[in-house]
Structure 1
Amino acid sequence: MLTVKRFANPDVTRAFTNIVWLGLERLTQIGVAIVISGMLARYFGPETFGKWQYANTLLLVLSPITWVCGAEILVPTIVNRPPGQLGTVLGSAFALRISVSAVALLLTWLGIALHFFEPLVGAMLAGLAVTMLFREPFVGVINAWLQSMTYSKPQLLTSMSTAVIKAALVYLLVRATAAPARFGWLWALESAAIGAVLLLYFMRRHGGKLGWHVERSLFRHFASAGTVFWLGLICMYLFLKLDRLMLERAISFADLGRYSAAQQLNENWITLALMLAQTIAPAFVYRVQGIAQLRRNMWRLTALTAVLMVCGAFVLDLLAGFIIRRVFGPDFEGAIEIFRWAVWLSVPAGVEAIGNLVVLKYQAKFVLLAKWLLALAVAFAVNLLAIPRLGAYGALVGLAAGYLAAASVNLYYIRFKLRP
């Protein structure tokens, strides 16, 4: 039971405020995603919209390449290091990430130039891929600093503002009947704007100076210590996008567009669980040393997340027909039932995200890698059997099986690590 004394705890107060801002940001992002998806779906039509969604899928499969030295390494390092070393920590992480991101972008453009992708998909991906140069090196590094203080308001406020501006620019391009390939560059512009604002905010908080320095030993540590986590995250995102990668070869781009329309809305909702886990981790997991207290926190956080995701899924299930018809129009009627089933994936996804915090706290990198390798293998096997028989619904079965496999690994590790 919460008491006045607990609310007086600064960690609790900061976490609660962070969660409020997180909720506002998620509501904004969900609203903007619905508006943008609706405009693009109606403007492009199912087939071109399917190609747009497939280009986004390719981006989200490629993006983890830039996640070397992720938040699971960087945030605990910031928390455990003296404040005077902040510039060295962030500078070393930035140098590593910008190098990897630049290489990833150049390789993506090379693949487009060599016609590895369908022509329109490649043209869309060309602009979308530029986000890799800004998201992790700039936004990711500064956001890790904000997470370490349990104070994500600047990042969330910036994200909300740029999302609304992006929606307005999408509307203007639609009105101007712009070519589909041009829309990807709006996402690149958005990521650059967020990075610039957060960089200026960091400098303002530190006397107008950036103060980032590269320390070779720390650079090497980030590159080596994060490798297994990095591979684990690559497996995780392959798992999350495996449904669309495998469906692209089994159904038409028009049907893929309908499936992706439902999943895009659903993924904005599932992201809430992931961001909730990230914002509460420093105060309620990473800084907690007592096993008994940590075990109590984990049960409470798991229960809270499960209730939140069940309630949200129930509401979205009820409103599925209204949402799909209003947002996407009559050409996307087939997405309604897919969306109704997909929203319930948020429950195992949320539970898995909370359980994953203990894996990150103890830096159990091989557990993380094994977990997502297992989830990827299970989903791949289920998709091979289910997609030919059930089509898009088979891909949902594969996702559900993968999430359950990942959550089971988390549960086993928590019972092992936090036993009395």
Structure 2
Amino acid sequence: MLTWKRYTNPDVTRAFANIVWLGLERLTQIAVAIAISGLLARYFGPDVFGKWQYANTLLLVLAPLTWVCGAEILVPTIVRRPAAELGTVLGSAFALRLSVSVAALLVTWAAIAANRTVHFTDPLVGTMLAGLAVTMLFREPVVGVINAWLQSMTYSKPQLLTSMTTAVLKAVLVWLLVRAAAPAGSFGWLWALEAAAIGAVLVVYYMKRHGGTLGWHVERPLVRHFASAGTVFWIGLICMYLFLKLDRLMLERAISFADLGRYSAAQQLNENWITLALMLAQTIAPAFVYRVDDATRLRRNMWRLAALTFAVMAGGALVLDLLAGFIIRHVFGPAYEGAIGIFRWAVWLSIPAGIEAIGNLVVLKYQAKFVLLSKWLLALAVAFGVNLFAIPRAGAYGALIGLAAGYLAAASVNLYYIRLKLGS
């Protein structure tokens, strides 16, 4: 029998509030990202905007290198260890992540310096990346560690509220720099400033909760444990992000930066749509997948979730396809007319992306790390092979074919694992 007491359970109330704040933060980030992209696209023009998007692509390929000792390792460790050891756990994770992040930043800056003589890519891309890369010093070492502590309490509000506030402030600063006609290479430092501000606020919040001191300590055996535990998941995530950005990495060598800017404009809108839609999967996963142990019931839930995801993604893609011209012209301006056709095709990628994300829930439920790694290695290899053939013949549309093939390969691995784990 359902009672009011059941709904006033503090754990349920805390989890629900956390989900609400997560949803608000995601919606805010998506709205701000679209607004900033539209503003910069009009200010830079397609050529420079293409270089800006390529610099961001390089950052998103480099950033997973700093994700050593992910939340799937750190959060359970915080929960299992006594409260008195919290400072040791967080301090050890911070030391590991900071050392990796510093190394990644130094290698990035060294590559940017080498680019001035070797010319791997346009020098402006390196100038933009120099500022963007500094975010690696704050995102995982500081923000990621404190956020893991907040997640262990099912209380992410401080981090999410800070993230929303700084995102809005960053949008205002971008607008001010545009009004001041600032050079394109200076904008990346705003992203570094945002990451530093979030980190500073969270450090202050943590210290207030712990008597005004940080109290972090490094325990070498724990650092070694964090470095080895979760390595397979870490490599799998690196492969996943490389797959997601492979289209832009390979297109940079095949088309002009102006065309890359138009392609990236279409893809950024599409990726925001996919992110918004996949919040549904993240929200319902605990109740319908993670907490279900009966194989028959779980298999039935997976089919229903897949059908729901297909309906949501297909319906959304149809609407976005019909409104593609209106959306591109109003967000990016008339100079991005060439992005309309790309966007109309790209939105349909949300269907295989959504189906793959639903199937991935079972992989995560059973912590099948080698399945995760194999899946994204296969997707990366398939997309690379298809891109080699399709991009020279179809340009940007060839990259969309490569993404579709990669998503289908990943979804096929999920399906095989589900059939193996749950039966047919």
CA 1:229–1:253 in structure 2 vs 1: closer, same or farther (change >3 Å)? same
> Equivalent residue for 1:66?
66
1:323-364 Cα offsets, whole Å, 9 max, x none, are 110111111001112112222222332332333233234332
> Equivalent residue for 2:20?
20
Partner Cα distance (1:395, 1:344) in 2: 14
Matched residues, number: 420
> Equivalent residue for 1:168?
172
CA 1:285–1:212 in structure 2 vs 1: closer, same or farther (change >3 Å)? farther
> Equivalent residue for 1:324?
328
1:98-120 Cα offsets, whole Å, 9 max, x none, are 11000000010000111143210
Deviation at 1:248, TM superposition (A): 0.8
CA 1:51–1:259 in structure 2 vs 1: closer, same or farther (change >3 Å)? same
Q: 1:362 aligns with which of 363, 366, 373?
A: 366
1:91 is matched by which residue type in structure 2? G
1:104 is matched by which residue type in structure 2? A
> Equivalent residue for 2:189?
185
Given that residues 147 and 282 in structure 1 are in contact (C-alpha distance below 8 angstroms), is that contact kept between their aligned partners in structure 2? no
Instruction: Output the TM-score relative to the length of structure 1.
Output: 0.91
> Equivalent residue for 2:94?
94
Partner Cα distance (2:13, 2:86) in 1: 24
CA 1:21–1:238 in structure 2 vs 1: closer, same or farther (change >3 Å)? same
> Equivalent residue for 1:47?
47
2:405 is matched by which residue type in structure 1? A
Given that residues 285 and 294 in structure 1 are in contact (C-alpha distance below 8 angstroms), is that contact kept between their aligned partners in structure 2? yes
Secondary structure, in 3 states, of the residue corresponding to 1:69?
coil
Secondary structure, in 3 states, of the residue corresponding to 2:187?
helix
Partner Cα distance (2:323, 2:21) in 1: 25
The farther-off stretch of 276-285 and 118-127 is 276-285
> Equivalent residue for 2:36?
36
1:271-314 Cα offsets, whole Å, 9 max, x none, are 33566655666676556666566556655655555444444434
Deviation at 1:372, TM superposition (A): 0.5
Q: 1:343 aligns with which of 326, 344, 347?
A: 347
Deviation at 1:366, TM superposition (A): 1.3
CA 1:99–1:299 in structure 2 vs 1: closer, same or farther (change >3 Å)? farther
Given that residues 111 and 117 in structure 1 are in contact (C-alpha distance below 8 angstroms), is that contact kept between their aligned partners in structure 2? no
Does 2:242 match 1:238? yes
Measured on the aligned residues, the alpha-carbon RMSD in Å equals 2.7
Unaligned runs of 5+ residues in structure 1 are: none
1:49-74 Cα offsets, whole Å, 9 max, x none, are 10111111111111111111122322
2:21 is matched by which residue type in structure 1? W
Q: Which runs of 4+ in 1 moved over 6 A?
A: 2-6
The farther-off stretch of 182-191 and 151-160 is 151-160
Given that residues 50 and 260 in structure 1 are in contact (C-alpha distance below 8 angstroms), is that contact kept between their aligned partners in structure 2? yes
Partner Cα distance (1:296, 1:3) in 2: 27
Given that residues 247 and 387 in structure 1 are in contact (C-alpha distance below 8 angstroms), is that contact kept between their aligned partners in structure 2? yes
The farther-off stretch of 308-317 and 246-255 is 308-317
Does 2:414 match 1:410? yes
Given that residues 320 and 336 in structure 1 are in contact (C-alpha distance below 8 angstroms), is that contact kept between their aligned partners in structure 2? yes
Q: What is the correspondence of 1:262-273 to structure 2 with a 5 Å cutoff?
A: 262-272=266-276
CA 1:199–1:63 in structure 2 vs 1: closer, same or farther (change >3 Å)? same
Deviation at 1:216, TM superposition (A): 2.1
Partner Cα distance (2:315, 2:205) in 1: 36
Unaligned runs of 5+ residues in structure 2 are: none
